[in-house]
Amino acid sequence: MAVMSIVATAVMAVAMRTFSTTSTITNRRDVLADARIAMDRLTKQLRQGAQLDQQTPSTVSFTGYIDGRLGTIEWTVTGTKAPYTLEYSTNGGANLVPVVTSLADSAIFTYTTHGSVVDQVTVRLPLQTSTTTVVMTTDVQLRNVQEDS
């Protein structure tokens, strides 16, 4: 009887560990999937952007092509403390749509200037998972931005 109790306890311990590990892995998978989709969309839109309108560490707004027509695209971080939310709008900042809801920091954009024009945006997404912070970073060359004459 005592042996059966020990075996049952061991089996339950393994099962409980599996359940907690599964939820941790699921959380990490979901956070990274949301960030990957956001990063893909953001980098594509920035590469096709024609003009940067607003540049802060937590917001980038630019003129770009939406379904073949020029429009104002805005990506902004909202919230007063972590986890922050990355939202975007394709109509000049109205009707912001949340894309990533697990940012550890609100300052995710940095800008590189060559001459008098910003031609590169670095996007750094510090993602909070249930156990750690994972950082995704990319540099985006603005192919269509031209220096004012």
- Express as a percent the part of the chain with pLDDT over 90: 56
Write out pLDDT tens, residues 106-118. Answer: 999 999 988 888 8
15 found inside a domain: yes
112 found inside a domain: yes
pLDDT given for residue 18 in this prediction: 63
| Structural domain count of the chain | 1
Residues 6 or more apart from 90 whose CB is under 8 A from it?
66, 71, 72, 73
Write out pLDDT tens, residues 64-81. Answer: 888 888 899 999 999 999
How does the average pLDDT of the chain come out, rounded? 88
pLDDT given for residue 145 in this prediction: 75
Q: Is residue 14 exposed (0-12), middle (13-18) or buried (19+ Cβ within 10 Å)?
A: exposed
pTM recorded for the entire structure: 0.81
146 found inside a domain: no
- Its domain, for residue 62, covers 2-141
Single-letter residue type at 42 = L
pLDDT given for residue 80 in this prediction: 95
20 found inside a domain: yes
76 found inside a domain: yes
Half-sphere exposure of 17 (CA within 13 A, CB side): 6
CA–CA dist 124, 135 (Å, integer): 7
Write out pLDDT tens, residues 92-143. Answer: 778 999 999 999 999 999 999 888 888 899 999 999 998 899 999 999 998 8
60 found inside a domain: yes
147 found inside a domain: no
Task: Give the residue-averaged pLDDT of 51-76.
Answer: 91
CA–CA dist 64, 75 (Å, integer): 12
Q: Is residue 115 exposed (0-12), middle (13-18) or buried (19+ Cβ within 10 Å)?
A: exposed
126 found inside a domain: yes
pLDDT given for residue 12 in this prediction: 72
Mean pLDDT lowest among 16-20, 136-140, 144-148? 16-20
CA–CA dist 38, 100 (Å, integer): 7
Number of Cβ within a 10 Å radius of residue 1: 4
CB 2 within 8 A of CB 109: no
